Amino acid sequence: MRTLGMIIALCLANAAAQASTIEMKVFGMVCGFCAQGIESNLRKHPAVTGVVVNLDKQLVVVTTKDGQDVPDAELSKAIVDAGYDLKSVTRR
């Protein structure tokens, strides 16, 4: 039983330490300049490792460092400060 508990603890620790992906539906983006502004704002956060903007799908995907996160309020602020409308946030 003790070994099983150690295995479970290691699995949980490993899951918590993995990077996360955050998908955001953002309205108002129409050009490369829009994408660049959003990407620039989001990359300023110390937990962010990558930002991909898909203008056709109105989607912004953010990846974070292992074990780190960006709160929804900070994501919203970055999008709104860039001049756009955040419609939804999905975490994977």
CATH number of 68's domain: 3.30.70.100
Residue 82 in any domain: the answer is yes
Residue 10 in any domain: the answer is no
pLDDT at position 13: 42
Domain that holds residue 41: 18-91
On whether the CB atoms of residues 10 and 2 are closer than 8 A, the answer is no
CA dist 50 and 63 (Å) reads 5
pLDDT at position 18: 61
CA dist 74 and 70 (Å) reads 7
In this model, does residue 64 exceed pLDDT 90? yes
Residue range 24-42, pLDDT digits in tens: 999 999 999 989 999 999 9
Residue 37 in any domain: the answer is yes
Q: What is the pTM of this model?
A: 0.78
